[in-house]
Amino acid sequence: MKLPEILRNISHTLTGHHARAIIVGGSVRDHFLELPIKDYDIEVYGLSSMESLEEILSAFGSVNLVGKSFGVLKFSYEGEEYDFSLPRREQKVGEGHRGFDVRVDGSMSFEEASRRRDFTINAIGYEIEADRFLDPFCGREDIRQGVIRHIDERTFVEDPLRVYRAVQFGGRFGYRLAESTKMLCQEMVASGMLESLPKERIYVEWKKLLLKSRKPSIGFEMMKELGVLRYFPELEALIGIAQDPKYHPEGDVWVHTMMCVDAMAEEIVGSREQGAEMEESQKLKYLFAILCHDLGKAATTTFDDDGRIRAIGHEEAGVELTRTMMYRLTNAHDFIESILPLVAHHLKPSQLYKANAGNKAIRKLALKVNIEELVMVARADFLGRTTPEALSGEYIAGEWLLERARELKVECRPMENLLQGRDLIALGLKPSAKFGEILDEVYELQLSDRLTTKDEAMAYVEKRFIGH
């Protein structure tokens, strides 16, 4: 296993103290998955105290003691940070994820210490000095089989967040749950154990599912199968909601939404491959917007006398449902508010294209939503279905709107006002409540191209509101 040289040097020194350094957790798993390794966690066996470990590490770099009470030391070397720990014994003493009594015990065996981990794929170790892998629970075989399997039923249920971890690992790696693990998770959900989880911890697992999966739908389908959607009724309500087969031959709203989320994940990967790496918050905005874009269909879907299925007004109906569901995950108000316009207007690109809309309509849309972002969401909505047009992969309406918006210079922001209050003062007008009305009238004329320059706008105000 490839390691930073500093870890091999520390391991060699630990050997002189009759101790062993073992790489544990996600980095070993990701080695077998041939994924990039970003973080290394090291467990040290054979030392009697955290102070002994601290003293040894201090000779190589700086040590942060912030996690010492939990048996973890943050070691920094040349700008990189590594987590060093001693094996821990954990005893459940209270409610919630903090309700554990943690004691370090350097005399534990690797198998005993690993038993407290969640899944077999996360319980593989790499002993640095011996250059060998330790796999007491057959995690490598589960990786080969694509299976998520819990280790110990007794310890697994002590932290109900592990149900969400199972879901996000399923989405990230395309794995299935072992039957025994699926049944255990279903029992945990049915008994209400997940209700004690704080939203902050749940949100972390949702983010990993959305950001790290090529097919997030796998994780959401697991949530459906395990009963987790009972905590997200806005999503659960989409199951079985029919759609017009002409536009949605793929199936109900749930099926369409899952296809859309996967399409968005692909679009984001495509952007990265083209050299346009997005900020994490931008990726999440797109992914949550497409996840929520059709929430309103559960409340607005109707059947005409001729059998035609409609969901008139579902875009606007979905706004409050999106807000409600998102606040169940996070209190990030500004982030949530930034998603809502994308839900409210996700049909606009196709509607404007069909109407061959003029400049005014496009400029008015730019007042309500970032058109570049909107087209990204609408494209995923378009691709998340099985119509011949969607299967072609070419979203003509979106490309048309984006091109028009760029010509009008409103693809990312509204049209700028030709005039401001200081311009009205320069014309001799005294500041008053009337200023707002004047500027609004001028802007409305701008939107329809009746005023195109500042000089024209100044002349209009002078003639209309001052006169001679």
Residues 122 and 104 in one domain: yes
Instruction: Tell me if 217 sits within 8 A of 258, measured CB to CB.
Output: yes
Residues 151 and 89 in one domain: no
For the full predicted model, state whether its pTM sits above 0.85: yes
Identify the DSSP state of 211.
H
Residues 33 and 134 in one domain: yes
Give the pLDDT confidence score for residue 422 in this predicted structure. Answer: 93
Quick one: pLDDT band at residue 287, thresholds 50, 70, 90?
A: very high
Give the residue from 140, 160, 195 where a domain finishes. 140
Alpha carbon distance 61, 285 (integer Å): 39
Give the pLDDT confidence score for residue 65 in this predicted structure. Answer: 84
Amino acid in position 435 = F
Identify the DSSP state of 431.
P
**2-27 pLDDT per residue, tens:** 999 999 999 999 999 999 999 999 99
Indicate the average pLDDT of the chain: 93
Structure tokens at 399: 């490309």
Residues 184 and 287 in one domain: no
The secondary structure element, H or E, covering residue 219 is helix 217-226
Residues 48 and 114 in one domain: yes
Alpha carbon distance 177, 222 (integer Å): 9
Give the pLDDT confidence score for residue 270 in this predicted structure. Answer: 82
Query: How far does the chain reach from its first CA to its final CA, in angstroms?
Result: 85
Alpha carbon distance 393, 398 (integer Å): 12
Residues 226 and 237 in one domain: no
Residues 150 and 237 in one domain: no
Give the residue from 140, 175, 196 where a domain finishes. 140
**173-183 pLDDT per residue, tens:** 999 999 999 99
Torsion angle of the four alpha carbons 112, 115, 116, 119, in this order, in degrees rounded to the nearest 10: 160
Give the pLDDT confidence score for residue 400 in this predicted structure. Answer: 97
Alpha carbon distance 76, 66 (integer Å): 13
- What would the mean pLDDT of 39-67 be, rounded to a whole number? 92
- Number of folded domains that form the chain: 4
Alpha carbon distance 29, 122 (integer Å): 6
Quick one: pLDDT band at residue 305, thresholds 50, 70, 90?
A: confident
- What would the mean pLDDT of 362-367 be, rounded to a whole number? 96
Residues 270 and 205 in one domain: no
Lowest mean pLDDT among 3-17, 82-96, 393-407, 430-444: 82-96
- What would the mean pLDDT of 115-139 be, rounded to a whole number? 97
Domain range enclosing 452: 421-466
Residues 74 and 103 in one domain: yes
Residues 402 and 425 in one domain: no
Helix axes 161-173, 179-190, angle to 10 degrees: 140
CATH number, residue 212: 1.10.110.30
CATH number, residue 27: 3.30.460.10
Give the pLDDT confidence score for residue 101 in this predicted structure. Answer: 61
Q: Please give the full DSSP string across 164-200, using - where no structure is assigned.
A: HHHHHHHHHHT-EE-HHHHHHHHHHHHTTGGGGS-HH
Does residue 148 surpass a pLDDT of 80? yes
**150-209 pLDDT per residue, tens:** 999 999 999 999 999 999 999 999 999 999 999 999 999 999 999 999 999 999 999 999
Does residue 217 surpass a pLDDT of 60? yes
Give the pLDDT confidence score for residue 307 in this predicted structure. Answer: 85
Residues 425 and 411 in one domain: no
Residues 70 and 163 in one domain: no
Quick one: pLDDT band at residue 275, thresholds 50, 70, 90?
A: low
Give the residue from 140, 173, 190 where a domain finishes. 140
Alpha carbon distance 398, 347 (integer Å): 10
State the SS3 of 119-150: EHHHCCEEECCCCEEECCCCHHHHHHHCEECE
Amino acid in position 136 = P
Alpha carbon distance 267, 283 (integer Å): 10
Candidates 297, 315, 321; CA nearest to 374 is 315
- What would the mean pLDDT of 387-394 be, rounded to a whole number? 93
- What would the mean pLDDT of 108-135 be, rounded to a whole number? 96
